[in-house]
Amino acid sequence: MKTFNYALVASALVCLMSVFSSCKSTAIYYQISQTKPVDETIMKSDNNDRGYYYEDENCRISYNFWSENGDASFQVTNLTDEVLYIVKDKCFFIKNGVSNDYFQNREWVDPVKPGLTTTHTKEKNLIGIAPHASKNIGEYVIYTKVLVDCDLNRQPKKNEPQTIAFTLANTPVQFGNFITYKVGDNGAEKAVSNLFYTSRVTNYRKDDIFTTERHDNCPNVSDIKTVEEQVLRFAPATGYYVTYVK
């Protein structure tokens, strides 16, 4: 009578299962969120690639959210003939009602050559912007998680993106900046609140939002005449995205 080595059989089954598991294919998905401003003080640029902006008699504050997790930074353009100052300890990034400080009283050690005294740089509270010039101020991202909802399929089929819409009352993400500035050394401080909310979320397969483009290559750089490049079909400055694998 033949005997079986059950331990050997079990080991072989585990190996076989491992092989099949490793062969299981996965797909990359993009969850793209669109936004809307909370009130009419925020305008949308005529060119959608330039996002939102707020403007008064002293400055223009511009937003371009498009990046993975959402870029919450803002660009301030000084419209006056004096130096405009951002009062950093009175500026906050607000997300779902939680206030986050822009000024954190940080200190950095500057790189120096061997043998020289180490120098330190302290974070400045006032950020000066020259007349009719711009400066970008950033610290935070909008949202890092994949939104999960019973009405939103996380594994859409090709050419069948899945969308869910929100109002200000039920949005999963409300965010924005509370910004304080003054014009000139002795100017009065002015506070500006720029708030937005996620109004629509759509899940796409990666191959639905990328296309392949061919470009002529410079003959002085390479013998390869053409190169292929994957390019996003759309990248709205008023939106942001997160990626996930299923």
What does the pLDDT average to over 20-33? 77
CA-CA distance, 68 to 239, in Å (whole number)? 10
Instruction: Spell out the domain ranges in the chain.
Output: 27-245
What does the pLDDT average to over 8-21? 51
Portion of the chain with pLDDT greater than 90, in percent:
67
- Residue 34's SS3 state is strand
Q: Residue for token digits 């910004």? A: 179
CB atoms within 10 A of CB 202: 20
| CB environment 165-187: b (16+ within 10 A), e (fewer) | ebeeeebbbbbbbbbbbbbeeee
Q: Which helix H or strand E contains 92, and what residues bound it?
A: strand 92-95
Q: How many helices (H) and strands (E) does the chain have?
A: 2, 18
CB atoms within 10 A of CB 102: 23
- Distant-in-sequence, close-in-space partners of 53: CB < 8 Å, separation ≥ 6: 42, 43, 45, 60, 61, 62, 63
Res 224 pLDDT > 90: no
- Whole-number average pLDDT of the chain: 87
pTM over 0.85: no
| Alpha-carbon distances, residue 121 vs 85, 109, 111, 135 (angstroms) | 19, 6, 11, 20
Q: Which helix H or strand E contains 150, and what residues bound it?
A: none
Tokens at 183, concatenated: 């014009």
Q: Give residue-wise pLDDT tens across range 91-131.
A: 999 999 999 999 998 888 877 667 667 788 899 999 999 99
Tokens at 166, concatenated: 């929100």
